[in-house]
Amino acid sequence: MDRERVRQWETQCIQEQAPACTAACPVHVDARKLTECVARGDFKGGLAVLANAVPLPLILAHICDHPCQSHCRRSDAGDAIEIGLLERACAEYGLPAPAPRPQALRKQRVAIVGGGLSGVSTAAGLAIRGYEVSIFEARPRLLHRLRSLDASTLPAHVIDADLAALRQLCIAVHCDALISRHAGPFGLDAIAADFDAVYLAPGPEPLDQDVLGLARTGQRGIRIDPLTLATSHPKVFAGGAQRYAPAPYSPIASIADGNFATVSIDRFLQGASLAANRDNQGAYSSRLYVNTKELTASTAIHAAGGGRGYSKDEAQQEARRCIPCQCLECVKVCQYLEDYGSYPKRYVRQIYNNECIVMGVRNLNKMVNSCALCGLCTAVCPEKFSMADVVLDARQSMVRTAKMPPSAHDFALRDLAFSQSEAFTLARHQPGFQSSQTAFLPGCQLSASSPQHVASCYAHLRNSLPGGVGLILQCCGSPAFWAGDEAKFQTALHSLKAAWSDLGKPRLITACSSCYRMLRDHLPQIPVEPLWPHLTPKSLPNALPETISRTLAIHDPCSTRGVKEVEQSARALLGELGIATVELNEPGLTTCCGYGGLVQFVNPQLAGKTVARRAKQSDEDFVTYCAMCRDRFAHQGKRALHILDLVFANGALDPAARPDPGFSQRQENRAHLKSLLLCEVWGEKVSAMEPSIELRMSEEMRLLLEQRMILVEDVRRTIENAEQTGDKLENPATGHFLASYRSACVTYWVEYSTEGSAFVVHNAYSHRMEVR
């Protein structure tokens, strides 16, 4: 996987973006975490969240002008969360605030000129980072201006408590120390010379005198870089009310400047870039998407005590109103993304790390191979992130580097090989025609599931379309594409293209959504149309049996997600058939049946959960226009119809109850279809394909074979080999034989007995290891 591409994918997923409240906060208080703490009564935890953002958490909790609240997404349905009151509740009930934990002492010394909010915040921030800090304040005590605030807004003991917590830090406080521009111990020049860095936070009054020769802006004060708070003097930084005046005083802006100055001075003293990676400094707009459509409106909890703020109980109730903001749009709709317990941004990194393992176990191989590649995540993602792109890239890379587990897609790829073999493939003009204006491509799965429907469709197309309708029996190669096996996929595409060329490059009509998708995406030069608009019920037998409900829930196959031509033509046909359809969701938001991406073979449990989740969406019988989807629902026990079961009902008793044919029957059906068409359409003599030996087995046995992905043909070949060579074991106690046969890379074992000339299968299993 390409590293840069991985990074782009990670950036595309917005789940880890800050919630709107945090992004709107100049110091990025994690208000979502704070409300989570309060909701469970953990006020101490809530206060720790504040302390993590600023060095004066109690003061902040009391005087913050909470710009976060006006951005709160809860207000999409009711009132915004009262974050300001919740902060105050933390400062009330979560005391004491966690003590600052300073890092190891550094040698550099920093002078802070001005002991207001911005100065003290900077001093604390730098002292925590291990610098030796001195504050020079002209007045008798620190935070002088704050003490003029009304006691109900900011009680003096709150200021004292925050300052007391800073005493353990390496901060020397010099009060009544008026810094002048003149020479002397409290002269700015001397301080600038004596210290490694200086932060000027002189308050809002205009500086009308030349200070340290610093460049000025207009008539008011020092020129300050808005991002870094740097001045024209390399070791002097400045901020606080000085930079905002004459705008009204904003305590949170001063505290934020303290944080910004801390970062800048720390970087300056460490020789790092002042400006790098500070794009989201201060308030910004978050990319986080939050779906509030389903949110029930609620009003903010009223503080019964008025100015005293919330009681503990009130605070908890209010905090529980928090949504909390997160995206997870894809995880909500996808069983796969949900099952692995995280979200795409993390999955991308995990998958990349999995691929980078050189020595050791790649634990996530199964996860990489468990995505259905259905594209639902992209359809719901506000940023159009595609998990399919990520896992397909990873699969292709695994195949290229021979790191794909051999067993992962082996069974499906052998099924593909069967569909590309002589047993199934066919490309012919319509009898009596030397060319084909059109060719019918039914797809290998419809041929496997309902060969009789393929024959009926082909007959109908021959009768209704001019210019000769050819037939192509072939697999489009989608299993190889899903498996990440580019070589096998290209081979499949090449032979499909060759068949199309042999027929004179006609337009194709397909009954398979996967074929449609593969052709559209990978062979765009081949004109392809869905079958459905070409089926007009008026000219077709349409005797629907009573067992078929006239109201059906429609399931769209994921392969043609969002392809209106396909979705609408299928609906139109159902309408003409007199079927009222129930939409399970918007057609573009359909889910996979568990076959897509070959999940069924790699992670049958997940595939089962996926189809079961879909089946539960409606009690109505399902109708779909993908043979694989229909059979997957049938396998799950959900009554389901293929649209062709309605078009060619042909007196079937209860087509919605038709069972899933299973893997073995699917191959037999394909081979049978080819023989049938050669015989009935082209009048060729086809020797009947009678099985060489007769097998008997219980239904339970057939299910076991399905579950273990052993074909009846594998069983037959194993017994045949044993009977021909005598290579078998005998159990004298039961009279049963146990035979093994290795084909390519799998050893099959079959326990059987004889019954006349037939063979009764009692058990079968397989392994890939070779034992000698």
Partner 1 sequence: MASTSGSTPESPLICGKCKVPLVLGKVTAHYLGSEFPIELWKCPGCGKVLVPESLATGKMLQVEQALEDK
User: Which chain residues interact with partner 1 by CB under 8 A?
Assistant: 360-363, 365, 405-408, 700-701, 704, 708, 722, 725-734, 736-738, 740, 747, 749, 751, 762-763, 765-772
Contact partners, residue 508, CB within 8 Å, separation at least 6:
438, 439, 440, 441, 472, 500, 519, 526, 527, 528, 529
Could you give the CA distance from residue 135 to residue 121 in angstroms, rounded to a whole number? 11
Compare residues 271 and 732 and give the one whose CB is closer to partner 1. Answer: 732
Compare residues 573 and 761 and give the one whose CB is closer to partner 1. Answer: 761
CB of 704 to partner 1, least distance (A): 6
CB of 765 to partner 1, least distance (A): 5
CB of 351 to partner 1, least distance (A): 14
Compare residues 550 and 696 and give the one whose CB is closer to partner 1. Answer: 696
CB of 771 to partner 1, least distance (A): 5
CB of 763 to partner 1, least distance (A): 5
CB of 463 to partner 1, least distance (A): 49
Rg (CA), the chain: 37
Could you give the CA distance from residue 597 to residue 609 in angstroms, rounded to a whole number? 15
Compare residues 77 and 738 and give the one whose CB is closer to partner 1. Answer: 738
Compare residues 549 and 753 and give the one whose CB is closer to partner 1. Answer: 753
Amino acid identity, residue 363?
N
Compare residues 272 and 357 and give the one whose CB is closer to partner 1. Answer: 357
CB of 416 to partner 1, least distance (A): 20
Nearest CA to 445 among 632, 676, 704, 574? 632
Compare residues 273 and 763 and give the one whose CB is closer to partner 1. Answer: 763
Could you give the CA distance from residue 199 to residue 224 in angstroms, rounded to a whole number? 11
**312-319 vs 31-39: helix crossing angle, rounded to 10:** 120
Compare residues 284 and 765 and give the one whose CB is closer to partner 1. Answer: 765
Q: Buried b / exposed e across 670-700, counting CB within 10 Å, b at 16+?
A: bbbbbbbbeeebeeeeeeeeeeeeebebeee
Compare residues 680 and 727 and give the one whose CB is closer to partner 1. Answer: 727
DSSP 301-363: PP-TTGGG---HHHHHHHHTT-------HHHHH-HHHHHTTS-HHHHHHHHHHHHH-SSS--T
CB of 608 to partner 1, least distance (A): 19
Compare residues 354 and 474 and give the one whose CB is closer to partner 1. Answer: 354
**3-12 vs 344-356: helix crossing angle, rounded to 10:** 160
| Backbone torsions φ then ψ of 133, nearest 5 degrees | -120, 140
Compare residues 500 and 601 and give the one whose CB is closer to partner 1. Answer: 601
Q: How far is CA 670 from CA 360, 426, 455, 473, in A?
A: 42, 11, 12, 9
How do 746-755 and 758-767 pair as beta strands? antiparallel
Could you give the CA distance from residue 517 to residue 658 in angstroms, rounded to a whole number? 27
Could you give the CA distance from residue 260 to residue 752 in angstroms, rounded to a whole number? 79
Compare residues 439 and 719 and give the one whose CB is closer to partner 1. Answer: 719
Q: Is 603 helix (H, G, I), strand (E, B) or coil?
A: coil
CB of 661 to partner 1, least distance (A): 22
CB of 713 to partner 1, least distance (A): 20
Q: What is the biggest distance separating any 2 CA atoms in the chain, rounded to whole angstroms?
A: 118
Q: Is 736 helix (H, G, I), strand (E, B) or coil?
A: coil
CB of 762 to partner 1, least distance (A): 4
Q: What is the CB neighbour count within 10 angstroms for residue 271? A: 6
Helix ranges (H only) for 603-659 are 604-615, 627-636, 643-647
CB of 596 to partner 1, least distance (A): 23
Compute the half-sphere exposure of residue 422: CA atoms within 13 Å on the CB side of its CA.
0
Token pair, residue 453, equals 């429907």
| Backbone torsions φ then ψ of 306, nearest 5 degrees | 65, -125
Nearest CA to 132 among 192, 197, 191? 197
